């Protein structure tokens, strides 16, 4: 999903539920820069809680 579309969707959800939290999860194939970019978009949309999921190895 393009970041602009993601931000709009998140802002819409935050307007419905200001205490919305999401879990950020990526896999080994996801570029680190993309994960950082998504987290930045999440923060800009007004979400305060965004734990990052990690798999145990």
User: For every one of its 57 residues, what pLDDT tens digit does the chain have, with 9 covering 90 and above?
Assistant: 899 999 999 999 999 999 999 999 878 888 889 989 999 999 999 999 999 887 776
Residues 6+ apart with CB under 8 A from 41: 3, 6, 7, 10
Asked if residue 8 belongs to a domain, the reply is yes
Count how many domains the chain has.
Answer: 1
Asked if residue 51 belongs to a domain, the reply is no
pTM for the model stands at 0.81
- CA torsion, points 25, 1, 11, 23, in degrees to nearest 10? -10
Query: How far apart, in whole angstroms, are the C-alpha atoms of residue 2 and residue 53?
Result: 21
Asked if residue 50 belongs to a domain, the reply is no
Phi and psi (nearest 5°) for 45?
-80, -10
Asked if residue 13 belongs to a domain, the reply is yes
Q: Which domain holds residue 15?
A: 3-44
């Amino acid at each position: 999903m393009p970041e602009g579309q993601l931000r709009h969707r998140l802002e819409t959800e935050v307007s419905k539920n200001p205490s919305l939290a999401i879990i950020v999860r990526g896999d080994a194939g996801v570029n680190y820069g993309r994960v950082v970019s998504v987290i930045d978009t999440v923060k800009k949309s007004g979400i305060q809680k965004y734990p990052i999921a990690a798999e145990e190895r």
